[in-house]
Structure 1
Amino acid sequence: MPEVLILYYSHYGATAEMARTIARGVEEVAGVSAKLRTVPEVSPCCEATEETIPDSGAPYVSEVDLRDCDGLILGSPTRFGNMAAPMKHFLDTTSQLWVGGVLIDKPASVFTSTSSLHGGQESTLLSMMIPLLHHGMLIQGVPYSETALLHTKSGGTPYGASHLAGGDSKLPVTDEEKRICKTQGRRMAETVKRLEP
């Protein structure tokens, strides 16, 4: 069965909630499954390592998860208009996959959560696309056929789903943001099915 890997980093929980909502969208398409994975924190101490399984939430991603996926949806909160360091650190370790061309022609998309409405949602999404393009992946966004993009007063972009978490990072994911997340997951699953040999 084709599988979509939803790989995310979440500090306050909103990005994880978006990932779970995207997974529900993926699994609305018969014959496609979703796999949730996360990345560990980056330690300021270079010798520190994380346990192999987190205390809660999705398991940590492995190179095999990336190698075996049929599509990838990458999510991170915004840090100064860019992806968070743990996600960037993980992507920096994927050079063997790049050398082998493992991800070439696989579809990919991105999502994010920010504290402020103009705090870099779009720049974060665009910067997350760059390593995926270097891997030769096929980038897809969210088309305006998803009409929630036209009406949302919080998150939601054609570059990928987004969420406005607020200054204290406690705003819930809105119904419109969830709808955009589900659309993104469903669209990826439909694309993976179409590309299946």
Structure 2
Amino acid sequence: MPDILILYYSRHGATADMAEQIALGVEESGPDSRARVRTVPPVSTVCEATADEVPDSGPPYATLDDLSECAGLILGSPTRFGNMAAPLKYFLDGTSSLWLNGALSDKPAAVFTATSSLHGGQESTLLSMMLPLLHHGMYLVGLPYSEPALARTRTGGTPYGASHHAGGEGRQPLSEDEQELCRALGRRVARAAARLEGN
């Protein structure tokens, strides 16, 4: 089975920490499940400034090939005023060629986010991240209350996708419930992809 793409932007590391847990969940879902973790470069307000082609550390930058080759997509971003961060939106705005040829159509997708405050727009960010996925014809996968951690959590976690309360400096560690919900989201997307491919 092709990889499940975990595509995210992270400013202070909290969203990257979530991506690692989601990748574990993907790979826990079965022997043929593989996670492909990718990020996007920051967006500059200076026209002449460009990011290096290869990040200094962490996963490589995503390409359109990563999207077209994936069996499923899990999209993550910190919250910016109840919406996804500009670097991820900028990358998604460049996917028109994939939209035109239906490269992502009928594949499962999910979303995740982190906020500095507990009520900092987690659910609106998750919902806004779903919009381009719907335009691409993807099937959305959420977190049902059959996941025990969703009823237990006192920090992040929603039916719309995994979330994390990262604190003011963005470095509050993931709670056990948040970790479990991230892994559950990875497992659910990988299993959905396997079912859709008839495995």
TM-score class normalised by the smaller sequence: over 0.9
Q: Could you say which residue in structure 2 is the equivalent of 1:109?
A: 110
The answer for the alignment partner of 1:154 in structure 2 is 155
Q: CA RMSD in A?
A: 0.8
User: Tell me, which stretches of 5 or more residues in structure 1 are unaligned?
Assistant: none
Shift of 1:185: 0.3
Q: Which amino acid aligns with 1:59?
A: P
Q: Give 1:178-197 correspondences, 5 Å limit.
A: 178-197=179-198
Aligned counterpart, 1:12? 12
Identity of aligned residues (%): 64
Q: Give runs of aligned pairs for residues 26-65 of structure 1, distance below 5 A.
A: 26-29=26-29, 30-65=31-66
Cα pair 1:2 1:192 within 8 Å, conserved = no
TM-superposition CA deviations, 1:82-107 (whole Å, max 9, x none): 00000000000101111111111111
Aligned-partner Cα distance in 1 for 2:100–2:50 = 26
Question: 1:194: Cα distance to partner?
Answer: 0.7
How far 1:174 sits from its partner (Å)?
0.7
Q: Is the 8 A contact 1:2 1:196 kept in 2?
A: no
Q: What SS is found at the alignment partner of 1:148?
A: helix
Cα offsets for 1:2-45 (capped at 9, x unmatched): 31000000001010010010000000122110000000000111
Q: Which consecutive unaligned segments of at least 5 residues does structure 2 have?
A: none
Q: CA deviation at 1:48?
A: 2.4
> Is contact 1:113–1:163 with CA below 8 Å preserved after alignment?
yes
TM-score by length of 1: 0.98
Residue type at the aligned position of 1:139? L
Scaled by the length of structure 2, the TM-score of the pair is 0.97
When the two structures are aligned, how many residues end up with a matched partner? 197
Give CA deviations for 1:33-83 in whole Å, capped at 9, x if unaligned: 000000000011123221111000010000100010000000000000000
